[in-house]
Structure 1
Amino acid sequence: MQSRTPAGRSGRPRSAAADTAILTATRAALVELGWSKLTLGDVAARAGVAKTTLHRRWAGKNELVLDAVAEPFDALRLPDRGTLAAGVEDVVLQPAAILDRPEARSGLMAAVAEATRDAALRERVRTSIVDRRKRLVVEGRARARARGERPVEFGPEEAARTADLIFDMVAGAVVHRSLVSAEPADAEWARSLTRVLLLGLAGAAAAGEREDRVPHANGGAGEA
């Protein structure tokens, strides 16, 4: 696991075993107590470390909880199942499975709520969770392009905007389904979401091609 402790602290080298024990204890405390009742003292006791050990590693409870619920996102991998549709379904189902865990439900919703008034914590949410999920989208799109499945895109800027839009649509749908609606983000739902998303991408590509063929006001044709 990559260290997410703020830079600039000195002292003895960190113990990977202690980090693992603390994050595991934090997730267990979230399951049993929820975010509101979780304390650093309880986590330290569960992990078998001194409370000062936690303070040397994390600025406070919010940062600790966020790192604990973000750790499983480090293990996300996107197997190549041969089609864009299968790749999109994996991008949907893998994070949904993490968000279905009680510690993720409790900890992540609390951390996001706290981040609305804490810019540093909001940035930590982005780097710890959002960026790790977004890389799956980037990887899946690259594979689809290599197979010739991805709709043609007109320039790097549009490609980047499309990647961000795909991620926002998938991530927003999964978070709403899992954490807000509390409905199962199962395989059937993932297939339906994937079908709607791919139909939308195909329609957008077709519209772009039609627009590209329409002469501009200056009498010239659009350029790809």
Structure 2
Amino acid sequence: MTDSTATPRKGRPRNADADRAILAATRAVLAELGWGGLTMGDVAVRAGVAKTTLYRRWPSKNDLVVSAVAVLFDELEMADLGSLRADIEAVVRQFADLLALPESQAALLALFAEATRDPALRQRVREAIIEPQKCLVRQGRAAAQARGELPPDTSPAQAREDVDIIFDTIAGAVEHRILITGEPASPEWITRFTTLLLTPLTQP
């Protein structure tokens, strides 16, 4: 689902187990030491690999942390459950469960805080995390249109704007609920949120 690793370089084949260990170690160090305390050396020691191994895969700390966060979203999916309501509730529940994990919370908060100060990092977050996740919105929206639950697009620009707004609404609401207020996304909350989201979407 996401661009969870940097662009592969020519040479020795990638080791998936090593990649997973490195990305997990990155999130662990980030949770313990924060962005400022994280170094490539710390991650290499925690993952049990040589520091040069990290730099062959991720040329910078920014690339490494973005990949470590992006891979968390790989399991999110927009399953076609037969109705737009069911599809939205399912993806919101997956997203909420992901954000409830301590490693997800620490990694996301540190990454987003640093991105507010670093335009290049912010752009990398958009490319590797945000844009791939908008594919879920496009999939769910297309399925709902095929079922007749949503009207067809009037233009490509309108379609892009709708996807952006839907994504921002879902991501913003769930992240605020979990990361900012610390409240759980209960089944009742998800149902109510979905109802509020669907009302304007399904109006003629």
- Structure 1 length normalisation: TM-score? 0.79
Q: Tell me, yes or no, if the aligned pair for 2:77 and 2:91 is still in contact at 8 Å.
A: no
| Residue 177 (str. 1) matches residue 163 (str. 2) | no
SS of residue matched to 1:46: helix
Distance in 1 of aligned mates of 2:165 and 2:155: 16
- 1:23 aligned partner, one-letter code: L
Runs (5+) with no aligned partner, structure 1: 206-224
What is the Cα deviation at residue 134 of structure 1? 1.0
Partner of 1:103: 103
CA distance in 2, matches of 1:89, 1:3: 25
Identity %: 54
Q: State the distance in 2 between where 1:26 and 1:134 align.
A: 25
Which residue number corresponds to residue 129 of structure 1? 129
Q: Which has the larger radius of gyration?
A: 1
Q: Does 2:60 align with 1:60?
A: yes
Match of 2:6 in 1: 5
User: How far apart, CA to CA, are the structure 2 residues paired with 1:3 and 1:73?
Assistant: 9
Moved over 6 A (4+): none
Matches of 1:53 and 1:35, distance apart in 2: 21
Partners of 1:159 and 1:49 in 2: CA distance: 45
Q: Counterparts of 1:6 and 1:133 in 2: how far apart (Å)?
A: 19
Deviation at 1:71, TM superposition (A): 0.3
Q: Which has the higher contact order (CA 8 A, sep 6+)?
A: 2
Aligned length in residues: 203
Distance in 1 of aligned mates of 2:151 and 2:66: 36
Q: CA deviation at 1:36?
A: 4.9
User: How far is 1:6 from its partner?
Assistant: 5.3
Q: Would you say the 8 A contact 2:44–2:54 is kept in 1?
A: yes
Tell me the equivalent position of 1:81.
81
> What whole-Å deviation, never above 9, does each CA across 1:45-73 have from its counterpart, x for those lacking one?
22110122223322433332221121021
- Distance between the aligned counterparts of 1:81 and 1:66, measured in 2? 31
SS at match of 1:168: helix
Given that residues 89 and 194 in structure 1 are in contact (C-alpha distance below 8 angstroms), is that contact kept between their aligned partners in structure 2?
A: yes
Give the aligned CA root-mean-square deviation in angstroms.
2.3
C-alpha deviations, 1:101-124, integer Å up to 9, x for none? Answer: 111111111111211232221122
